[in-house]
Structures are given as C-alpha cells and as structure tokens.
Amino acid sequence: MSLRSDEETPDGFPETPVIAVRGIAKHFGSIQALRSVDLDVHKGEVVGLIGDNGAGKSTLVNILSGALQPNAGAILLDGQPVNFTSSLEARRAGIETVYQDLSLAPDLSVWQNIFLGREKTVKGPLRYMGWLDRRAMVREAAEDLDRTHIRIGSVNSLAGRLSGGQRQAIAVGRAVSWGSRVLLMDEPTAALGVEQQETVGELIRSVSSHGVPILLITHNLPQVHKLADRVAVLFHGRIVADLRCSEVTVDDMVSWITGAALGTERHAG
C-alpha cells in the first residue's frame, strides 16, 4: 500500500488509518460548505466531529456515507482510494451510517430490521420464491446483538415498541452486523433521555473496543468529551482543531467551535 509512509502520526498510531479524508471540498453553488478537509480515523478509535450549525458537519457525513459527491479531494479506506456514487456503494465498502432517524421500520421486528435488504432464504426449491430462513435470521440477529452487548428482550419484538435507547442499539447492532469497517453516527443521543444516553455511550465504547472505529457527529459536547478519544472541530468548512479529549476541557471545545480560540492560537490547516 502506497500510503504506509504516512504512518507514525503524532498520536502514535502505527497502522494505516481505517478511513482517511484528504483535501475534501464541496460547494453548493456559491456556498463553500467544505474547504479542503483532512481527517483520519484509526482502528478502535472514537472520533468526535463537532462544529456549529452550518460548519459543514452534515456535508462531510453525507460525503463519507456516499449521499453527496465531493468537488475535490479523496477518501481512503484502509489506504485505498474509494469513490462512492450512492450510499449503497459506501455501505458495500464498509462505511455504515446510523442516521439520526435510525432508518428502522417500526412495524417490523428486530430481526427483520437487522436483516432487511440482505435477507437469508432457505435452501431447496422454495428459495426461488424467496422463502425466508426465519430461524437462521432470528438466531444470528440475537448473536449479533449479544456480541455487541446489546440487550433486547426478544428479537421478535416490533422495533416501534422499543424505547429510544433500544432502537438506537438496534440501529447500531445492525450497522455492526453488516460487517462495517467504520461507523458514522449522526446525533445518536439527540432524542434520548439522560439514562438512555448513558446506555448509548456504553454501546459506542463496546463497538469501538471490538476494533470498529466510530465517527461521532454531535452537538452534545459533554458527551463527546466523555466518549471520544479525539475531537475534530469544523469551523466554516475547515477542520481548525484536532484535540485529544484527555487534554482539553469542554470549554476549550466551545471556544474552538465558536472561533474564539482562533484569535488567540495560531490558525490550523
């Protein structure tokens, strides 16, 4: 792989980043949403992406998840350049997005939601009719959720009957069970109560401890400070700071988001 030389980052990560963003730019007409964004996410890392409304967070997420195409720059997945024309392609390459609305079908059961779009069919002649292998999917769904330490009473419950935290857990469990290499989470706790935010926090730590890195897009600074290893701050379409959570306070993050820190420290990028 050609990019092995770009190793030994100051953070001390020895291996190629799972996902590397290089010089991504995107404009909508005359609005420059992103100007040359660079970002690395390594194996097992939780990286927060923070910034004020309009800073470009969603644009960046949409580009990474394949919903938008950048005007310039490259995305490298395990060092290999990738190019997505649709979210399905991004997903096939291993970039899973847990959308803010979770994308669950409330009238379907947990296992049906987990396997939607890649249903298992039985062997034998009935497979030509698309006959579902219900037993296998129920079993595997339970195993998948178990592996990520997600506790749902029964994978046969309807998704719409679960609490917000449980729904979030299923969306994450589904993303992980698709064999994702990197997980994008868009405002995972925006709609949740305090206790459930805690549960999702545990979930995020559990997933990343299995080696799947997470890019966490959120407004919730105390939470991202607690959960993430690093935060990247977007300001006017540029990453202006890459902070280690252990070395900064929430107030430091606020001053980067609002641009106040730019006046006192030297400009990044």
Partner 1 sequence: MSLRVPSALTPAGTTSNGSGSEGGRSERSAWLNAVDRFGDYWMLGVFVIMLLVFGLLSPSHDLFTRASWLNISQYAVEFLLLAIGQTFVIITGGIDLSDGAVLGFTGMVAGVVMQGLLNSHANVTLTTVAGFATALALGALIGFVNGYLITRLKLPPFIVTLGSLTAIGAGATPLINGGNEVINLPSQIGTIGQTLIGGWIYVPVLVAGLSCVFMGLLLHRTRFGLRTYAIGSNGTGARRAGIKVDNHLVKVYTLSGLLAGLAGMMVMANFTDASPLAGQNDELNAIAAVVIGGASLFGGRGHMLGTVVGTFIIALLVTGLVLIGVSGSWQEVATGVIVVAAVAGDQVRLRLADR
Q: Which positions lie near partner 1, rule CB under 8 A?
A: 28-29, 31, 33, 51, 53-59, 62, 87-88, 91, 99-108, 112, 116-119, 121, 129-132, 134, 160-161, 163-165, 167, 187, 190-193, 195-196, 219
Cβ atoms < 10 Å from Cβ of 28: 10
Question: Smaller CB distance to partner 1: residue 219 or 226?
Answer: 219
User: Is 193 or 269 the residue whose CB approaches partner 1 more closely?
Assistant: 193
Cβ–Cβ under 8 Å, residues 156 and 135: no
Residue 213 region, left (φ>0) first, then alpha (ψ -120 to 50), else beta? beta
Please state the closest distance from residue 90 (CB atom) to partner 1, in A: 11
- Report, in Å, the least distance between residue 62 CB and partner 1: 8
CB of 123 vs partner 1, minimal distance in Å: 14
The minimum distance between CB 239 and partner 1, in angstroms, equals 15
What is residue 98's DSSP assignment?
E
CB of 251 to partner 1, least distance (A): 21
Residue 68 vs 214, nearer CB to partner 1: 68
- Nearest distance in Å: CB 260, partner 1: 20
Task: Compare residues 16 and 112 and give the one whose CB is closer to partner 1.
Answer: 112
CA distances for 103 relative to 99, 186, 231, angstroms: 7, 12, 26
Complex with partner 1: residue 7 or 101, whichever CB lies closer: 101
Q: Measured from the CB atom, is 76 or 98 closer to partner 1?
A: 98
Q: Which is nearer to partner 1, 132 or 248 (CB)?
A: 132
CB of residue 170 to partner 1, shortest distance in Å: 12
Q: Residue 222: which H helix or E strand, with range?
A: helix 221-227
Size of the chain in residues:
269
Residue 21 β-bridge partners: 39, 75
Number of Cβ within 10 Å of residue 73's Cβ equals 17
Going from the C-alpha of 111 to that of each of 4, 134, 143, 155, the distances in angstroms are: 40, 9, 11, 5
Nearest 5°: CA angle at 187, between 165 and 259?
A: 145
Per-residue DSSP letter, 59? H
**Which CB atom, from 28 or from 265, has the smaller least distance to partner 1?**
28
Question: Would you state the structure tokens that stand for residue 113, as one six-digit string?
Answer: 């939601």
Amino acid code (one letter) for 75: I
> Minimum Å distance from CB 150 to partner 1?
16
Nearest to 18 by CA among 86, 95, 130, 83: 95
Return d(Cα 113, Cα 111) in angstroms, integer. Answer: 5
